[in-house]
Amino acid sequence: MIKLFKKKNQTEKLICDQRLQHIAFIMDGNGRWAKKRGMPREYGHTQGAKTFKLITDYCGEIGINTVTVYAFSTENWKRPAAEVNALMDLFMDYIYEALEVMMKKDVCIRFIGDKTPLSDNMKKLMADVEEGSKNNTRHLNIAINYGGQDEIVNAVNLALKQGKTEISAQDIESNLYTNHVAMPDLIFRTAGEQRLSNFLLWQSAYSEFYFTDVLWPDLKPEDIDKAVADFYSRQRRYGGL
């Protein structure tokens, strides 16, 4: 039996084992967090970006090998231009610092989603970060202009281009944006909504789900500990007995 909790420097520290290797986050509630403070939605996203760093770092500390975050969906372009621009600026700020930070933390970054409508500068910087970090052993996938349906259609089209005339599940899986990592063990959504919102539709076939009312900018490592404990109390049967 693998120990979940390990003593380190007199404090109990949570360490996950191979049953929980990949957590995917739907980072919801930035707008409501800002509204509660009488601030514009953009302020919520700025705080959300800080929480993203805090939570992804914490997941690394507790032994999670792969983290995937839903940062911008294919539907988020419908938001007011000022909000879309603020989000793109936050992504750019992060991309500028990402390579240096990820090399220190041994993390391979991939930006998953359809990059076509992103600016040339952003695409170039993303490619540099992906290339520079590709041999690192842990994984961070940031979904930008990502849609699960779009990803499956894209995977089928890639398989057709590879000469397939009949498509198998394996053909789809090997062409997903996440073909370099295992399927998510846990999908974690903040801010009370209990839906997938077009996130990781294929990959979530056997994922466990965890929902909390906590708004993303308020999320703390203790909330991750609660979700992890809840995850370990469940039995995953993958359709078997």
Q: Which of 9, 30, 65, 76 is catalytic?
A: 76
Structure tokens at 79: 């938001």
Q: Could you give the C-alpha distances from 184 to 64, 146, 169, 177, 179, in angstroms and in order?
A: 11, 16, 17, 13, 12
Q: Active site includes 150?
A: no
Nearest approach, Cβ of residue 232 and ligand FPP (Å): 26
Q: Which is nearer to ligand FPP, 30 or 203 (CB)?
A: 30
**Running DSSP on this structure, what letter comes out for residue 38?**
T
Q: Does 30 bind ligand FPP (CB under 6 A)?
A: yes
Residues 176 and 173: their CA atoms lie apart, in Å, by 5
Q: Does 49 bind ligand FPP (CB under 6 A)?
A: yes
Q: Does 29 bind ligand FPP (CB under 6 A)?
A: yes
Q: Which is nearer to ligand FPP, 159 or 199 (CB)?
A: 199
Of 95, 197, 196, nearest in space to 140 by CA = 95
Q: Active site includes 28?
A: yes
* Span of 15-23, 43-51, 158-166, 205-213 interacting with ligand FPP by CB under 6 A: 43-51
φ and ψ at 161, to 5 degrees?
Answer: -65, -30
Of 221, 25, 50, nearest in space to 142 by CA = 25
Residues 184 and 200: their CA atoms lie apart, in Å, by 9
Q: Does 55 bind ligand FPP (CB under 6 A)?
A: no
Of 169, 111, 162, nearest in space to 141 by CA = 111
Helix (H, G, I), strand (E, B) or coil at 209: strand
* Interface of this chain with ligand FPP, residues 200 to 239, rule: CB under 6 A: 216
Q: Does 28 bind ligand FPP (CB under 6 A)?
A: yes
Q: Which of 28, 30, 65, 145 is catalytic?
A: 28
Task: Work out the angle at residue 155's Cα, subtended by the Cα atoms of residues 85 and 122, and round it to the nearest 5 degrees.
Answer: 25
Binding track, positions 86-125, relative to ligand FPP; x by CB under 6 A: -x--xx--x-------------------------------
Q: Which is nearer to ligand FPP, 184 or 217 (CB)?
A: 217
Q: Active-site residue numbers?
A: 28, 76
